[in-house]
A and B are shown apart, each in its own frame.
Chain A
Amino acid sequence: MAESNTDVAVKPKEPTFAFGKKERQLITDPFNDNNPITIQVLGICSALAVTTLVLPSVVMSIAVVFVISFSALIISLLRNSIPKQVRMIVQLVVIAALVTVVELVLKAASYDVYKQLSVFIGLIITNCIVMGRLEAFSMANRPWRSFLDGLGNGLGYGAILIIIAVVREVFGKGSLLGWQIIGNTDDYMINTATSWMFGWYANNNLMVLPAAAMFIVGIIIWVQRSMYPRLVDAS
């Protein structure tokens, strides 16, 4: 009799495998089904401003992945001891501390990229994805799962960021990661082997404008929702 009572009261704990099916889903879902930028509408601010060149976007994605995964891990470890009223402040302090670490590391490692990213490193704190995933997932889930969820969302964000940046840099400047791949109309022939590709492309200055990033995201959303009709906004 006592045994059946305890059976009802104590639900058996769900087993966690390091890379079980659910865990893998946490990483793959945010690429398409639950993409932070195109489906959840989070993290858009920094996505647009840094994507003029690919290199800052890659650095930004790495920074965001680091911040999301480790803050998700830390908050998940602390989740049972945070009082409800100060929940947001605790989350913000954890995120701010991690972002400060990222900023100092970046400042030391690559000052040029740091100057290019300027305020947007600090703005990772207010990146809605970080807060959003902390509130929605880490406050209610176990550490390893929260870490993977943060990792997945960060990578999904990074994927979109790099797509936008590649389009903007290739069409807006003719270069990729700093290497000129499409010659501009006012470039000299650097060597005869590659002279055929120089001198014909006039930079698409629309791509350099921040507004272009909005158009590109709109088109990505359009393509994504046409390819997967289940993602169409029912409202």
Chain B
Amino acid sequence: MLDIFLKAAFIENMVLAYFLGMCSYLAVSKTVKTAVGLGLAVIFVLSITMPINWLISTYLLEPTTSVLSGIMGQETDLTFLRFILFIAVIASMVQLVEMIIEKSSPALYVSLGIFLPLITVNCAILGGSLFMVAREYNFAESLAFGIGSGFGWFLAIIAIAAIREKLRYSAIPPALRGLGIAFILTGLMGIAFMSLMGIDPGNIIPQK
């Protein structure tokens, strides 16, 4: 489980290796404070939706393990409903997170603004669930994958927010300011994270 966490957080980082979740990543990373808030919200949503989606996928949709197959007596393949059910789960979880944040930290709620409900359409969240299905993880692995990818996203958005804060005092050509340099920055960060490629976290704990 630890190796899946490490892999999802550093080596196959959602943002820097797969470039998922870019829209809110680029839009919210102007200051570190908002980046931290959004990052924590994404970790929470990913960690919760991944296991729930696993349960739905395994016990409702997949023909071989579905509860419905048992009831109907024959294999019922409902995998085509996957997108709709996953996105419905994600939307409800994000609504829940929004309510929690509104109650517990109104300042953060106001500063995140529209981007909190936009976590619903964050590619990283649906993408994470789809990766989990494609790689056929079991429950524990999907939980580790959820927390790991959330943490990786959090790391990436904090890193670029910090860099962009410093960039405000640099002399960048006007045509490249703001969005253009953010793209090039992310590309460079992606290449930097590639240096971690090939590390096999499964071997970190040496076998006796």
Query: What bracket does the count of chain B residues touching chain A fall in?
Result: 35 or more
Chain B 129-154, CB-CB to A under 8 Å as 1, else 0, gives: 01100100000000000000000000
Q: Decide if A125 touches B175 in the complex (CB within 8 Å).
A: no
Of the stretches A71-79, A188-196, A211-219, the one at the interface is A211-219
Q: Count of A-B contacts with CB under 8 A?
A: 141
Of the stretches B58-66, B118-126, B199-207, the one at the interface is B118-126
Q: How far is the CB of B89 from chain A (nearest CB, A)?
A: 11
Majority SS of interface residues in chain B? helix
Complex Cα distance A188/B176, Å?
A: 42
Complex Cα distance A16/B191, Å?
A: 50
Majority SS of interface residues in chain A? helix
Q: How far is the CB of A120 from chain B (nearest CB, A)?
A: 8
**B67 near A: Cβ within 8 Å?**
no
**A97 near B: Cβ within 8 Å?**
yes
**A9 near B: Cβ within 8 Å?**
no
Complex Cα distance A126/B182, Å?
A: 21
- Given A122-B126, A209-B190, A218-B181, CB of A45 within 8 Å of CB of B21: yes
Q: Decide if B121 touches A49 in the complex (CB within 8 Å).
A: no
B17, B23, B124: which contacts A41 (Cβ < 8 A)?
B23
**B88 near A: Cβ within 8 Å?**
yes
Q: Decide if A128 touches B121 in the complex (CB within 8 Å).
A: yes
**B80 near A: Cβ within 8 Å?**
yes
Chain B 169-196, CB-CB to A under 8 Å as 1, else 0, gives: 0000111111111111011101100100
Q: Decide if A45 touches B123 in the complex (CB within 8 Å).
A: yes
Query: What bracket does the count of chain A residues touching chain B fall in?
Result: 35 or more
Q: How far is the CB of B58 from chain A (nearest CB, A)?
A: 18
Chain A residues within an 8 Å CB radius of B11:
none
Q: Decide if B176 touches A44 in the complex (CB within 8 Å).
A: no
Complex Cα distance A47/B180, Å?
A: 15
Q: Decide if A125 touches B26 in the complex (CB within 8 Å).
A: no
Q: Decide if B127 touches A209 in the complex (CB within 8 Å).
A: no
Q: Decide if B19 touches A48 in the complex (CB within 8 Å).
A: yes
Q: Decide if B83 touches A222 in the complex (CB within 8 Å).
A: no
| 20 contacts across the A-B interface (CB closer than 8 A) | A42-B23, A44-B19, A44-B22, A45-B20, A45-B22, A45-B23, A48-B19, A49-B19, A99-B83, A104-B80, A123-B123, A126-B125, A211-B190, A213-B19, A213-B187, A218-B180, A218-B187, A221-B180, A223-B175, A232-B175
Beyond A125-B87, A126-B121, list 8 extra A-B contacts (CB 8 Å): A42-B23, A44-B22, A88-B91, A88-B117, A100-B83, A126-B127, A209-B194, A211-B186
